Chains A and B, each alone.
Chain A
Amino acid sequence: MKLKHALIAAFTGVCVATPVLADLVFPALTYRTGAYAVSGIPQADGYSDYFTMLNERDGGIGGVPIKVVECETQYNTEKGVECYEKTKGLGALVYQPMSTGITYQLIPKASADGIPIHSMGYGRTSAANGKVFPYVFNYPANYWNGASAVVNHILELNNGNIKGKKIALVYHNSGYGKEPIRTLEELAKKHGFELSLLPVDHPGQEQKSQWLQIRRERPDYVTMWGWGVMNQVAIQEAANIRFPMEKFIGIWWSGSENDVIPAGDAADGYKALALHAPGMDFPLFDDMKKHVYDKGKAAGAGDQIGTILYNRGMFQAILAAEAVKVAQKMSGKKDIGPAEMRVGMENLKVDQAMFSSLGLPNFAPNLEVSCENHGGAGLVAVQQWNASAKTWSLVSDFKPTDKDVINQLIAEDSSAYAKENNITPKCM
């Protein structure tokens, strides 16, 4: 077997760019092309621009330079696997698969290789149970938090009583779109509202049937789990049937500038969930401008800065960088590996003081990760679109979601996974 290893090493050396040792390597599985490029580009830009800024301003994290390795997946599962195999040998600290499909592929692979995964606001929801999924993190909130946040927001608008109200869920007919159904059903039982389900098949260019049905049934609120072209068409169709936009609430993947701009003024008042604040009204962007944009080191075309998804990409980078700091402190090493990174992520604690010190006051809610809870606090806000100013703004605080319902669902699903895969739940 020695020979084989030697051969492999030689072969890998030829075919894969040799890593510069003693770097903090962050692979970025991007999708800048393909059907979902619209959402992929800003996230990828934000993710790598923040790390570029850290390199330029601070010389990395704790003095160790950062290396972002981009690999294009085209949002395609097989290409995602290829990218994982390509980059894992470079000393990857954490994977952000950027796609629910790829996350599912990587959960077993990365767990076996001991590399943590951070699927922020997507992926497998029950991975919030760190005892079953020690290497998978999905803080700060997951889809079930999202479903509960929508219902909470509606409760708030109706003074806590939504008995007999009708809520319709328009969803992408895939695993992702079906995620909130269980939670919404439980919540419907609890709060006594009526839930109607309207699946939309991929890609979702033609939704006349669904919106005619909404027009017939006149639900009080519509919530949407959409993706790609489906978002733009749904918002346009909702405007066409004159559904009141402020009663239409999308998940955070249906709430970017790209989703509302094609509908023009008609989209005014549309709401979506938010994991972080929109816009670039933060001191951090001065640093970004000085060290990244003005030096011509921005990752993409530079036209995405400050958009919702750009900020989300940046938020992912920030949480990763903070976890590195925790890991460096805990292990006493500057040049950490994936194992230390995992510990760092599991002990990550983010509060407002820290956001302020980063130059991002009130950017996102507090966050505390633990072994039992890889999903964070599940605090979600609501943002609203202003079509004339072309800006999103938060219309609520980051509020807690219905823990009782969600935690039980997480426990159920993760224990089923543990049983299927012979995992004994325990903290590492």
Chain B
Amino acid sequence: MSAEFYFGIEVFLNGLMAGVMYSLVALGFVLIFKASGIFNYAQGIMALFAAMTLVGFQEGQIPFAHLFNAMFGTEMHHFGWHMNAFFAIILALGVMVLFAILVEKLILKHLVNQEPIILFMATIGLAYFMEGFGDLMWGSNVKKLDVGIPQGGNFWIEENTAFLGGENFYGFYLDTLDIYATVIATILVVSLVLFSQYTKTGRALRAVADDHQAALSVGISLRTIWVIVWAIAGFVALVAGIMWGAKSGVQFSLSLIALKALPVLMLGGFTSIPGAIIGGLIIGVGEKMFEFLIGAPLLGGATENWFAYMVALVFLVFRPQGLFGEKIIERV
């Protein structure tokens, strides 16, 4: 087999890994959409905010330090401690739960029974608010995120596959971080599925997702469920923020990863957790293979952004509800 063939396989494998990273972001959207029919525009900002909070706790940053300094002329930046990553993650999670409660209390409560587009708009307002709030709280400089996940090509795989393709092939390249991400995403999805299948709260979640009115009538509190869902979405955002933040440092652009999740959502369906995973894999592999085979050699590269959307678009024309979306039944 020629080296080119193995390179193709390498691109394929890396596409799968990238797909998992996209799925991580898409999961948060799916959770909220499923439980409340809200397309949460703020999901990307939530990932950024969660990652910023995590780093903030780890480094012992004082929240709103810049604002206080500007107002009172003080000179404070850090508490001076350095927190263990595990505790910082727990604390950041606590902040995301608090965030979920506040969102429910201050926004969603007042917008029950509104049309989807209005709820969507509310999350846009939320996104605007969080964008300013996050920067004000933690500062807008780039921060290094280190929770102990190793990065870099996996040497073991590289060395043990190098014999495959002759002298022009150097073994498969797989990023260790991506491998971790895959494991974590698998654990995340499995536990989400177990949670929703076998716990009382999980069943309540599914009931709400199926039919708000019916769920209400059997005594499920919509508002509690919403808090839980937003908290879980906050947790997923934190995981996505950690994975993406490890690559690029934590900075504003982290919120733009949401754009990478949208084609995944389209493809997988807004309401299906397995859909988010499979959709992510298809998009990841599709865009990487297209760039490898056609984009870079023939079209001058940088085709990934639009190709992901094109795949999703073509796909939707044949299956308008996405891969695993609920069948759209229309009645007059």
Within the complex, what minimum Cβ distance (angstroms) separates B133 from chain A?
A: 12
Please indicate the chain A residues that have their CB under 8 angstroms from the CB of B175 in the complex.
208, 240
A94-102, A258-266, A283-291, A313-321: which one contacts chain B?
A258-266
Minimum C-beta distance from B255 to chain A (A): 9
Contact of B256 with A35 in the complex, beta carbons under 8 Å: yes
- B139 near A232: Cβ-Cβ < 8 Å: no
* Contact assessment for A38 and B251 in the assembled complex, using a CB-CB cutoff below 8 Å: yes
Cβ contacts under 8 Å, B152 to chain A: 239-240, 242, 266
Whether A201 pairs with B248 at a CB distance below 8 angstroms is: no
Return chain B residues, CB-CB under 8 Å to A212.
7, 10-11, 14, 173, 292
Mask of A291-325 contacts with B, CB within 8 angstroms, 1/0: 00000100001110000000000000000000000
Main secondary structure on B side of the interface with A: helix
Contacts of A301 in B (CB 8 A): 65-66, 69, 77, 139
Instruction: Judge whether A233 is part of the interface by a CB distance below 8 angstroms.
Output: yes
Q: Interface code B1-34, partner A: CB below 8 Å = 1, 0 otherwise?
A: 0000001001100100110010000000000000
Segment with Cβ contacts to A, from B82-90, B117-125, B200-208, B294-302: B294-302
- Please determine whether B251 and A229 come into contact, CB atoms closer than 8 angstroms: yes
Cross-interface CB contact of A215 among B144, B173, B253, B302, cutoff 8 Å: B173
- CA gap between A213 and B142 in the complex, in Å: 28
- Knowing A216-B7, A236-B248 touch, does A201 contact B151 (C-beta < 8 A)? no
Pairwise interchain contact A38-B141, C-beta atoms closer than 8 A: yes
| Residues of A close to B248: CB separation below 8 A | 205, 229, 232-233, 236, 262
Query: A206 interface residue, CB < 8 Å from B?
Result: yes
Set of chain A residues within 8 Å of B151, measured between Cβ atoms: 236, 239-240, 266
**A32 contacts the other chain (CB 8 A):** yes
Cβ of A228 under 8 Å from chain B? yes
Contacts of A37 in B (CB 8 A): 135, 140-141, 251-252
- CB atoms of B153 and A240 under 8 A apart: yes
Which one of A82-90, A192-200, A416-424 is at the B interface?
A: A192-200
Task: Count chain A CB atoms within 10 A of each CB in B73, B248, B260, B305 and give the residue with the most.
Answer: B248
Task: List CB contacts (< 8 Å) of A230-253 with chain B.
Answer: 232-233, 236-237, 239-242
Residues of B close to A400: CB separation below 8 A:
none
The answer to whether A302 and B75 touch across the interface, beta carbons within 8 angstroms, is yes
Residue pair A228, B146 in contact (C-beta under 8 Å): no
A209 contacts B256, C-beta separation under 8 Å: no
Q: CA–CA, A192 to B198, complex, Å?
A: 67
14 contacts between A and B (CB under 8 A): A197-B300, A205-B244, A205-B256, A208-B17, A209-B288, A212-B10, A215-B170, A229-B254, A232-B247, A236-B151, A240-B153, A262-B248, A266-B152, A303-B77
Using a CB–CB cutoff of 8 Å, the interface residues on chain A facing chain B are 32-35, 37-38, 41, 173, 197-201, 203, 205-206, 208-210, 212-213, 215-216, 228-229, 232-233, 236-237, 239-242, 258, 261-262, 264, 266, 296, 301-303
The residues of B with any CB-CB pair to A shorter than 8 Å are: 7, 10-11, 14, 17-18, 21, 65-66, 69, 73, 75, 77, 135, 139-142, 144-146, 151-153, 170, 173, 175, 244, 247-249, 251-254, 256-257, 260, 287-288, 291-292, 295-296, 300-302, 304-305
